[in-house]
Copies of this chain bind each other. A is one copy, B any other.
Amino acid sequence: MTVLTESSASSESPTGTESSVVFDELAALLPASQLMATDEGASYYRDQSDGTASGLPLAIVFPANTEDVAAIVAIAAAHHVPVVPQGARTGLAGGANAVAGCLVLNTTRMNKIIGVDRDDQTATVQAGVRTIALARAASAVGLFYPPDPGSWRASTIGGNVATNAGGMLSVKYGVTGNFVRQLTVVLADGSVVRTGQRTIKGVAAYDLTALLVGSEGTLGIVTEITVGLLPAPAAAFGVSATFATVAEALAAASVIVASSRRPSVLEYLDGACITAINAYDPASALPAGTAALLLIQSDEAGRAADDVRTYAETLRAGGATAVVIASDAVALDELMNARRLLHPALQAVRGASLNEDITVPRSQLPTLLSSLEQISAELAIPIAVGGHLGDGNLHPIVGFDPSSEVDVAAAQEAYARIIRLAISLGGSATGEHGIGVLKQDHLDDELGPVLRALQERVKHAFDPDGIMNPGKKL
């Protein structure tokens, strides 16, 4: 990982003359409102990750539809100019950061909900539609789009597809990819394909839809997405429980995971997260002075209240110091909203943070959490841990002062050790945020050379000239 805020254009980027030819071609294609010169568009250079490198783009473009994207990519392909797609730039791994001499292709003007089909329980949207807008459009006709990444009020569906975003409801409903049926994709030569099928099942061809999900824009640019929806669930009931020790919280959660009543939410926050969230937004009012907090919900029709009573008994039997049942939507939203502040709250503690997104087999959670305490102590750097306990996908957050060289070095070391720890426990560097540029150094540890080479052949099959978001993912 390289902690840089901006790198200079590399020697491979187009010369000034070539750049101006490309810019002129774009200006001939797009109205002025859809094309921005580099000096106007600095806010589009990068996502929300701290400490990731970005380069100076050639221009920022704002296509309105698939045809615009195809024409832009055709120009880029003709001049061998890299294209970096981005949505709302809520990413946490630098996947949407500009690379030197690229076109930044921002999808936020592609924000049209093309249709919601109540009978077939599907929705088709442009890639720049916000996650919450899709969820609301589904809800308006009695349907449900479950994936709810932390940034869902701002994030786009295209960005969610690019990282295969999860969220708090993933423990029951799965991640973005579990809902994606069809993708309209602009390939590296500007041609357009639609992958997948509208139907629930389908095995006519290789599942390129699944391959594109999570590919961070390195195989093609997703412009339209058809998702499957579910009937709206029942109103949720929830329970929160505090524990004097992390071990008791983990043990109680294990009992719930092993039961046949599947919670719709099973989240974890440690004491440091609670302190940071309460400091960041005092309205959060999470219970202070505790080692660990579990948030658990059920949204099962005709059973949610009974599920939550059962969970509450399990939590009490597991030694919870306080157990609070909430059947009130407002109270539940407050808890969920407080939980969603995890990243900004921890970023605020020391001014910057490195956000982990590790996964481990659930049986390894006790070892993981005790090892994280050790790393924090050894490097004298704060590590707060929260996240999706039910999925084994946690977000240890390493806070650091970006102006302190000592802090930066310790944070980098902690960050790398945590990923190596997760991999050594049978896990992965990333469950839902992606590799981006932040985790590049760890990919080889995880894949090994033969699988890495196969991945590169697949990339080459899609993008032989390497212009699609180069330097990301692989």
Bitwise, A206-224 to B at CB < 8 A (1) or not (0) is 1110110111000100000
Residue of A117, A178, A208, A428 with most chain B CB atoms under a 10 A cut-off: A428
- Determine whether the beta carbon of A203 is less than 8 Å from that of B450: no
A233-249, CB under 8 A of B: which get 1 and which 0? 11000000000000000
Give 1 or 0 for each of A300-320: 1 = CB within 8 Å of chain B CB: 111100110000000000000
Alpha-carbon distance A363/B122, docked complex (angstroms): 11
Q: In the docked arrangement, what's the CA distance between A26 and B230, Å? A: 52
| Structural contact, B451 and A194, CB atoms closer than 8 A | yes
In the assembled complex, A459 has its CB within 8 A of some CB on chain B: yes
Whether A201 contacts B458 in the complex (CB less than 8 A), given A207-B214, A215-B206, comes out as no
Determine if A211 and B206 form an interchain contact, defined as CB atoms under 8 angstroms apart: yes
- When distances are taken between beta carbons in the complex, the residues of chain B under 8 Å from A306 are 302
Taken together as a complex, chains A and B put the C-alpha atoms of A252 and B429 apart, in Å, by 47
Q: Which of B142, B195, B307, B451 contacts A193 (CB 8 A)?
A: B451
Kindly state whether residue A200 has any CB partner on chain B within 8 Å: yes
A435-B163 CB under 8 A given contacts A120-B361, A261-B301, A454-B187: no
What CA separation (Å) do A187 and B163 show in the bound complex? 27
Residue of B nearest to A187 (CB): B454
B254 to A119, Cβ gap below 8 A? yes
Interface of A is mostly: loop
How many angstroms between the C-alpha atoms of A443 and B174 in the bound complex? 30
Cα distance, A306 to B301, chains bound together (Å) = 11
Could you tell me the distance in whole angstroms from the C-beta of A166 to the nearest C-beta in chain B? Answer: 6
Number of residues on chain A facing chain B (CB within 8 A): 92
A392 within 8 A of B: yes
A434 at the interface (CB under 8 A from B): yes
A462 at the interface (CB under 8 A from B): yes
A179-209 near B? 1/0 per residue, CB < 8 Å: 0000000010001111101111111111110
Query: Is A232 part of the binding interface, using a Cβ–Cβ cutoff of 8 Å?
Result: yes
Question: Does A431 sit within 8 A of B, measured CB to CB?
Answer: yes
Asked if A451 and B199 sit within 8 Å, CB to CB, the answer is no
CB distance from A308 to the nearest CB of B (A): 12
Interchain CB contact (< 8 A) of A435 among B142, B204, B207, B461: B204
* Contact of A447 (CB < 8 Å), options: B120, B205, B233, B433: B205
CB nearest to A93 among chain B residues: B203
Choice from B203, B257, B430 contacting A202 with Cβ under 8 Å: B430
Instruction: A474 to B205: give the CA distance in the assembly, Å.
Output: 7
Query: Which residues of B are found within 8 Å of A177, using beta-carbon distances?
Result: 207, 210
With A198-B426, A204-B428 given, name 12 new contacts (CB 8 A): A119-B363, A120-B361, A122-B361, A177-B210, A200-B431, A203-B214, A203-B435, A206-B211, A206-B219, A207-B214, A302-B306, A461-B461
